[in-house]
Structure 1
Amino acid sequence: MPNPVYDVARTGLLLVDPYNDFLSEGGKLFPMLRDVATDVRLLDNLRATVDAARKADIQVVYVPHRRWQPGDYDNWDHPNPTQRLVQQHHTFAEGTWGGEWHPDFVPQEGDIIVQEHWAQSGFANTNLDFQLKQHGITHVIVIGLLANTCIESTSRFAMELGYHVTLVRDATAAFTQEMMRAAHELNGPTFAHEILTTAELIAALPVGI
């Protein structure tokens, strides 16, 4: 997939779940991600991608997971296994440090924060599609966590809705290398129009760093 071209007026950077529980030492899920995140230099690449997008005047869109609140998933007919774990461990709990943005990824003026997703797709039961269409966005670059769950589900849904989808293989992470391989080598090529490294993406943007 050589030489992708991005019209900054029609491109959005989707930053998925940049919470302390995922990205910070002391976060509830960070120990499970640490090895893969270190291997791909996740934080450095997230910072570089977000910074390059801002410099290129690309719309940054926050795509946050539901922040757990008391009563979530209680009396549901069929919460999924991940939701059961969130219910048990109170991951991304509202009003806690773990449910706050990582300090390097605090929203800035002009960013869009869409409604929180309850499961894995950032589109399902949220206003993400509406916001993207209202801002004339046709191309989405999807980064954040996790590669094989929310990134994949959001990206697949985007493709189904007619968006051009770019995955950035080292600006995401998963709990195992096998999950990363599934996300980028097995599943990603079935729906993503581009699968790039951070360096390749930045080189393709009109304004690099």
Structure 2
Amino acid sequence: MRVASTAVLLVGFQNEFCSEGGAFHDIVKGEIESSGAVKNAADLVEQGRERGVKILHVPMQFSENFREIPPDRTGMLGDIRKANAFVMGTDRADIVEELGPEPNDVVISGKSTIAAFKSTNLDHVLRNFGIKNLALAGLLTDVSVESTARAAYDLGYRVVLLRDCTATRSKEAHLASERVIESSFGRVMSHREFLNNLE
């Protein structure tokens, strides 16, 4: 993969998932620790930046009154509304300090949907930078990460799921997403394998 046409996309590495007191921390804490997702992602972005890989962050954020989510919404978005989570401007919605954006990183705003493309200008930004290969890291593997991988594939990107930089509520759910992505939407590799494939 050529560095100039490759980007790392960090989805949902926010305090609501990754830090004590976060609304969804308890449901994913064990798997984050087991997989080393945050630690591995920190190593990934540090080495990626040194090699010139574009780093993009896509945090999920909502207004205080959750006008982006109908009151009767079910599923993950309904759970977010009920938990009063990911409210923009709050510490809990911030990107975790270990991955905090550096000056040359791009932060994509406006993500109020599960997939990162639907409610943002992510596709526009990636195409402006000439990106063709998209390596995905983040939370939750079987929710936002997998949904983003499917959308990216449909848009023509070559998708890589970074298995050791992602986590979800159980190892079984994580492995199921790995199998789905590898069979139909892209490649699955560790962050070190990804870095070693750059040229």
TM value normalised by structure 2: 0.93
Give the match for residue 37 of structure 1: 32
Q: Which amino acid in the other structure matches residue 96 of structure 1?
A: T
Shift of 1:132: 0.4
Q: Which amino acid in the other structure matches residue 149 of structure 1?
A: V
Provide the rounded CA distance (Å) in 1 between the counterparts of 2:105 and 2:196. 23
Give the match for residue 123 of structure 2: 129
Give the match for residue 11 of structure 1: 6
Counterpart pick for 1:90 among 76, 84, 98: 84
Unaligned runs of 5+ in 2: none
Unaligned runs of 5+ in 1: 1-5
Counterpart pick for 1:120 among 88, 106, 114: 114
Counterpart pick for 1:148 among 121, 126, 142: 142
Greater displacement, 115-124 / 151-160: 115-124
1:115 counterpart SS class: coil
Matched, 1:167 2:151: no
1:124 counterpart SS class: coil
What is the number of residues matched between the two proteins? Answer: 199
Structure 1: 4+ residue segments shifted above 3 A = none
Give the match for residue 3 of structure 1: none
RMSD over aligned Cα, in angstroms?
1.7
Shift of 1:77: 8.1
Q: Which amino acid in the other structure matches residue 165 of structure 2?
A: A
Give the match for residue 188 of structure 1: 181
Give the match for residue 48 of structure 1: 43
Give the match for residue 72 of structure 1: 67
Shift of 1:112: 1.3
Provide the rounded CA distance (Å) in 1 between the counterparts of 2:66 and 2:119. 19
Q: Is the contact made by 2:86 and 2:93 (CA closer than 8 Å) also made in structure 1?
A: yes
Identity %: 26
Provide the rounded CA distance (Å) in 2 between the counterparts of 1:200 and 1:71. 40
Shift of 1:34: 1.5
TM value normalised by structure 1: 0.88
Counterpart pick for 1:28 among 19, 23, 29: 23
Q: Is the contact made by 2:115 and 2:144 (CA closer than 8 Å) also made in structure 1?
A: yes
